[in-house]
Structure 1
Amino acid sequence: MTEKVVVIYSGGMDSFTVLNRAVRDNKEVFALSFDYGQRHVKELEYAANVCRELGIEHKVIDITSINQLLAGSSLTDDIDIPEGHYEEQSMKSTVVPNRNMILLSLAVGYAVSKGAGQVYYGAHSGDHAIYPDCRPEFVLKMNEVCKIANYEPVEIYSPYLTVSKIDILTDGLQMGLDYSKTWTCYNGREKACGKCGACQERLEAFEKNDATDPLEYE
């Protein structure tokens, strides 16, 4: 019997790789995306297209109302997206307070309702410098809680937690994945900006893999 899993799927290159890794692990995948008012909401269009192509059940949940509580992030408020690498302090403005704890909690609830034993989550080491809720200690503690929060234990599975986006892309390219089907840029314009931390890290990953990013840049 095929094991059921929920994949938190943003439409970006990390979660795209995680989604395809779950498919190749012969899991029955239920993809879950969230509209939390992010200015790069076009990533959800990319997510929907991929799930349609793969024949995966996909839910997009509107949780924009929580932004009444979670102010101060340049991803959701009228604050300029900073330019530069994730290592720079300015990128802290892209933190959405408690975002991943909220999303993981919802995903675990969905997993229980579907009879799924795991939630796949695409955190990686490149996020650790800026995002507290992507660090191993957070994932470990969240995993412990999710195993006892319901009668049915659910595991938080982060296959790339200790490796970089470079390594994620390496794995994806070895799987033959097409990254033109992903959106990374924090600015939700027609083309990727190439200057925000998300774009810079993506471009660095392609460069380190001696590959060309198929996305168009401004």
Structure 2
Amino acid sequence: MKDSIIILSGGMDSTTLLYDYQERIALAISFDYGSNHNAKEIPFAKYHCEQLGIKHLVIPLKFMGEYFRSSLLSGDEAIPEGHYASENMKSTVVPFRNGIMLAVATGMAESNDLQYVMMANHGGDHTIYPDCRPEFVDAFDKTAQAGTFNGVRLLSPYCNMTKGQIAARGKELGIDYSKTWSCYRGGDKHCGKCGTCVERKEALADAGIDDPTEYED
């Protein structure tokens, strides 16, 4: 039964979730919020939806790029190098990004008579992203239920999984990760050095997947 809407970036995690729960997903939404890598991610999101015959919408949130402070919105040179666990990676946080996107997705779910909103946050996000943590997921789930006539729920199946475990699930599903984007710099190739590139490399290695990504280095 098609009862869900998914927030789909075009990255590894949300693409895996798309394939994993394709039988339940009626609508996929990508948000263009002015990040360095939106233009690289969104075409992949569209591609995978086309492969699965799932309706895909792109919703503009350009005000975030104009008014919010984050290195993710400030050009590729502002993106720090290093692992997600590093203190300098906090500069990539876009304040309350998931909260804003989930609010829109919840309204879309109610408008389309859908019961669930899905997002692909995972355990590795918890270190620096407050709106990826389990307590946020639980709180937003309650908020969505209370604020909609049909009691929309938030589903976060990967919340306590590692990115490596998600990649392993993608391997089982036969996902081509060369058709996903991770790099925060959004260049012609993955930089190989920013937090998301480092995490991507580690996850693919953990899952025993030959890395199909073309890196600058």
- State the TM bucket, normalised to the shorter chain: over 0.9
User: Does the CA contact (< 8 Å) of 2:105 and 2:117 recur in 1?
Assistant: yes
State the partner residue of 2:188. 190
User: How far apart in 2 are the matches of 1:28 and 1:185?
Assistant: 26
State the partner residue of 1:84. 82
Q: Shift of the alpha carbon at 1:191?
A: 0.7
User: Does the CA contact (< 8 Å) of 2:28 and 2:56 recur in 1?
Assistant: yes
Aligned-residue identity in percent: 46
User: Does the CA contact (< 8 Å) of 2:85 and 2:127 recur in 1?
Assistant: yes
State the partner residue of 2:128. 130
TM-score by length of structure 1 reads 0.95
User: How far apart in 2 are the matches of 1:102 and 1:44?
Assistant: 18
Q: Shift of the alpha carbon at 1:114?
A: 0.9
User: How far apart in 1 are the matches of 2:204 and 2:124?
Assistant: 14
Deviation by residue 1:114-138 (Cα, 9 ceiling, x = unmatched): 1110111001000000100000000
User: Does the CA contact (< 8 Å) of 2:6 and 2:25 recur in 1?
Assistant: no
Matched, 1:11 2:48: no
Unaligned runs of at least 5 residues, structure 1: none
The letter of the residue matching 1:193 is C
**Structure 1 segment 98-117 matched on structure 2, within 5 A:** 98-117=96-115
Q: Which has the higher helix share?
A: 2
Matched, 1:141 2:139: yes
State the partner residue of 1:39. 36
The letter of the residue matching 2:206 is K
TM-score by length of structure 2 reads 0.96
User: Does the CA contact (< 8 Å) of 1:3 and 1:117 recur in 2?
Assistant: no
| SS of match in other structure, 2:91 | helix
Deviation by residue 1:134-190 (Cα, 9 ceiling, x = unmatched): 000000000011011011111110010001101100111011111111101111111
User: How far apart in 2 are the matches of 1:64 and 1:117?
Assistant: 27
| SS of match in other structure, 1:128 | helix
User: How far apart in 2 are the matches of 1:201 and 1:211?
Assistant: 14
Q: Shift of the alpha carbon at 1:70?
A: 1.3
Unaligned runs of at least 5 residues, structure 2: none
User: How far apart in 2 are the matches of 1:3 and 1:203?
Assistant: 33
Q: Shift of the alpha carbon at 1:210?
A: 2.1
| SS of match in other structure, 1:192 | coil
User: How far apart in 2 are the matches of 1:211 and 1:152?
Assistant: 41
Deviation by residue 1:24-83 (Cα, 9 ceiling, x = unmatched): xx2142000000001002101111111122211000011112333312x01112461000
**Structure 1 segment 47-86 matched on structure 2, within 5 A:** 47-71=45-69, 73-78=70-75, 80-86=78-84
The verdict on how the C-alpha distance between 1:77 and 1:48 changes in structure 2, with shifts beyond 3 A counting, is same
The letter of the residue matching 2:28 is A
Q: Shift of the alpha carbon at 1:14?
A: 0.3
The letter of the residue matching 1:210 is G
Q: What is the Cα-based RMSD across aligned positions, in Å?
A: 1.1
Count the aligned residue pairs.
214
Deviation by residue 1:91-119 (Cα, 9 ceiling, x = unmatched): 00000011110000000000001111011
User: How far apart in 2 are the matches of 1:169 and 1:184?
Assistant: 13
User: Does the CA contact (< 8 Å) of 2:2 and 2:24 recur in 1?
Assistant: yes
